[in-house]
């Protein structure tokens, strides 16, 4: 595909429960981004209810596109392309974004690129300011994934390991629910953990070797702890101590595995992306780890750690530069190395 004219890509992200639209320049400058969450819709279900997520995306998507385009005076000539998440994610949610992008592309005569959401997270540290340094060791920790990868260069990805059960973000969310916090639970656990003492001994599964993760045993141990001592979930002090113990275990798992991987795959930077990269404690641990190895820590700004369309638009520029367009087939199960 020849490089189309235009200095911006319009990004569209609807893979889960956030409807997001953004305009991003090739160097990662974000001109506009609007992200609408659906927490109030899903709260009663204790998790994302797929059917309601699709319906909410359908209502939100075109008005969000209109508001974001308004920022550039509706000047469509500035659009080089439209980049939309085609997977992984909830199929109904993905289809709303893909369908909207396809229709806009047809109406405005713009190329539409189907982007892998995970490649979007990967590029998130380069939004606003370019931060990625290669070769890089990357941990992607989100609500749907926990993956460890080595990136020798910008377009090369070797998957080293992933979770065998729950993702780290999912585990944060489930522990938050056990302690009575509303969605999204991760930020509440992150905040409370800073106030508590890690006085409960929780397991650190898969800590001894390899690059795989497992979080379900840790989650079940927290559930058993609260079953045995229900009063813990009834006071701020108790909740803070449970959160601190849980977060300590998660951070140790992340740090030990990253440390081992850095020894096996010498890198110029350690990169942590995905929603859990918004955790203040995880960020501090990664900075310290990078310092000990004498390398750079590449973290997305807080706004760009959780799901957003700006990272999808920036990844879209990579697809354009490399002449890759995998088409618009929505695929709920795309893997990290897929396009």
| Binding site residues, Zn ion, CB under 5 A | 142, 307
Residue 87 near which of Zn ion, ligand KG4, none (CB within 5-8 Å, type-dependent): none
Q: How far is the CB of 333 from ligand KG4 (least distance, A)?
A: 14
Burial annotation 202-224 (CB, 10 A radius, 16+ → b, else e)? beebbeeeebebbbeebbebbee
Alpha-carbon distances, residue 30 vs 21, 114, 130 (angstroms): 11, 20, 12
Residue 60 near which of ligand KG4, Zn ion, none (CB within 5-8 Å, type-dependent): none
Q: How far is the CB of 85 from ligand KG4 (least distance, A)?
A: 10
Q: How far is the CB of 18 from Zn ion (least distance, A)?
A: 9
**Nearer to ligand KG4 among residue 144 and residue 205 (C-beta):** 144
Q: How far is the CB of 120 from Zn ion (least distance, A)?
A: 7
Q: How far is the CB of 112 from ligand KG4 (least distance, A)?
A: 22
Q: How far is the CB of 99 from ligand KG4 (least distance, A)?
A: 20
**Nearer to Zn ion among residue 142 and residue 214 (C-beta):** 142
**Nearer to ligand KG4 among residue 87 and residue 184 (C-beta):** 184
Q: How far is the CB of 6 from ligand KG4 (least distance, A)?
A: 28
**Nearer to Zn ion among residue 50 and residue 217 (C-beta):** 50
Residues paired with 34 in a beta bridge: 21
**Nearer to ligand KG4 among residue 80 and residue 171 (C-beta):** 171
**Nearer to ligand KG4 among residue 11 and residue 143 (C-beta):** 143
Residue 172 near which of Zn ion, ligand KG4, none (CB within 5-8 Å, type-dependent): ligand KG4
**Cis peptide leading into residue 176 (ω within 30°):** no
Residue 304 near which of ligand KG4, Zn ion, none (CB within 5-8 Å, type-dependent): none
Phi, psi of 64 (to 5 degrees): -65, -40
User: Residue 43 in 3-state DSSP?
Assistant: helix
**Nearer to ligand KG4 among residue 194 and residue 329 (C-beta):** 194
User: Residue 12 in 3-state DSSP?
Assistant: strand
Residue 97 near which of ligand KG4, Zn ion, none (CB within 5-8 Å, type-dependent): none
Helix or strand holding residue 21 (H, E): strand 18-25
Which strands form 136-141's sheet, in the order they lie side by side? 158-162, 146-151, 136-141, 269-273, 296-298
Residue 221 near which of ligand KG4, Zn ion, none (CB within 5-8 Å, type-dependent): none
**Nearer to Zn ion among residue 198 and residue 275 (C-beta):** 275
Q: Is-contact 274 140, C-beta < 8 A?
A: yes
Distance CA 1, CA 21 (A): 24
Q: How far is the CB of 325 from ligand KG4 (least distance, A)?
A: 23
> Which residues of this protein are in contact with ligand KG4, per CB under 6 A?
16, 142-144, 169-170, 172-173, 184-187, 190, 274-276, 278-279, 306-307
Burial annotation 176-192 (CB, 10 A radius, 16+ → b, else e)? bebbebebbbbbbbbeb
The secondary structure of residue 182, as a DSSP letter, is: P
Task: Write down the H helix ranges in 47-167.
Answer: 50-70, 91-108, 117-123
């Amino acid at each position: 595909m020849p490089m189309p004219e235009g200095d911006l890509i319009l990004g569209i992200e609807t893979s889960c429960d956030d409807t997001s639209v953004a305009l991003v320049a090739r160097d990662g400058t974000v001109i506009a981004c609007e992200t609408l969450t659906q927490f109030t819709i899903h709260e009663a279900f204790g998790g994302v209810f797929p059917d309601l997520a699709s319906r909410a995306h359908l209502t939100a998507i075109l008005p969000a596109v209109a508001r974001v385009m308004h920022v550039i005076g509706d000047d469509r000539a500035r659009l080089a392309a439209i980049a939309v998440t085609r997977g992984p994610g909830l199929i109904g949610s993905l289809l709303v974004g893909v369908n909207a992008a396809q229709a806009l592309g047809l109406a405005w005569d713009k190329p539409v690129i189907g982007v892998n959401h995970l490649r979007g997270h990967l590029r998130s540290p380069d939004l606003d300011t370019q931060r990625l340094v290669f070769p890089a060791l990357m941990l992607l920790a989100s609500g749907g994934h926990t993956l460890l990868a080595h990136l020798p260069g910008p377009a090369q990805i070797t998957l080293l390991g992933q979770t065998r059960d729950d993702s780290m973000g999912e585990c944060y969310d489930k522990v938050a629910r056990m302690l009575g916090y509303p969605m999204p639970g991760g930020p509440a656990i992150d905040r409370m953990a800073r106030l508590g003492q890690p006085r409960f001994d929780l397991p650190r599964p898969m800590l001894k070797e390899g690059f795989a993760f497992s979080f379900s045993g840790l989650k079940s141990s927290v559930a058993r702890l609260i079953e045995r001592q229900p009063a813990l979930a009834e006071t701020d002090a108790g909740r803070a101590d449970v959160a601190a113990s849980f977060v300590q275990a998660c951070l140790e798992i992340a740090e030990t595995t990253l440390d081992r991987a850095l020894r096996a795959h010498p890198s110029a930077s350690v990169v942590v992306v995905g929603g859990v990269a918004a955790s203040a404690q995880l960020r501090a641990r990664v900075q310290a780890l990078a310092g000990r190895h004498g390398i750079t820590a590449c973290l997305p700004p807080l706004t760009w750690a959780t799901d957003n369309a700006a990272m999808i638009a920036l990844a879209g520029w990579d697809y354009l530069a490399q002449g890759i367009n995998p088409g618009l087939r929505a695929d709920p199960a795309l893997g990290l190395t897929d396009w």
